[in-house]
Amino acid sequence: MKVTLISHTPEPELACALAAKTCHAAKMPKGPMTREGMKRMLDIVIGSGHTSVLEHASFTFAVEGVSRSLTHQLVRHRMASFSQQSQRHVRLKDFEYVVPPTVEKSPKTAKAFRETMSLISDAYGQLAEMGVPLEDARYVLPNAATSNIVVTMNARSLHNFFELRSCLRAQWEIRKLANLMLREVQKKAPLLFEWAGPICKARGICMEGVTDCKFYKLYVKKKPS
């Protein structure tokens, strides 16, 4: 898996802070703002849940080498834009695939998994060689087959994505993606994403009710007011 932040709103923290300030100012506020001023404003709106102003900053990621199983989960996040590698137009000769860690743990299961992938690859290639259109030959391809996708989300949607997918209850592959994306945006906009992460970190609550989780013990009721 490779995640690259390929573009973002210029000065995303300033854009969101000025948007927040506009809501309570008699006249349109102008930039620049001090870093302390931006942090104070963003802490207020994020802490109070008035996060619509975060929609003024967007981030675009190139995501490579993830499974179709992951992208099926990813596109369920509706407040986003997606452009994915097409299996209708791209022939996946000797396609790459993702092997879950639980499969890799055992030589027996890993062997069975890889043998199945080899059989599928042969069948896919044979169908294509026999003139079956790629859009129909792809029906034999597995969820494990890798794909590339470009994803654009605004900062508000990213906060929601991180709350759900950074959680230890999320599936391992999309959790890895969420953590890599979070690392990228924190480099560019640390004030916007200071408390971004699983919902226990972001809001000090656990929607899953799993009290023996290490994140629960670390974050629940410990977020500063």
Q: Return d(Cα 14, Cα 12) in angstroms, integer.
A: 5
165 as an active site residue: the answer is yes
Looking from the CA of 177 toward its CB, the CA atoms found within 13 Å total: 26
CA 211-213-219 angle, to 5 degrees, is: 85
Interhelix angle for 35-48 vs 12-22, to 10°? 70
* Residue from 68, 156, 165, 175 carrying the catalytic annotation: 165
> Vertex 100, ends 162 and 106: CA angle to 5°?
145
Distance CA 99, CA 41 (A): 44
C-alpha of 212 from chain center: 25
Q: How far apart are CA 44 and CA 20, in angstroms?
A: 9
Contact 176, 65 (CB under 8 A): no
Residues with a catalytic annotation lie at 165
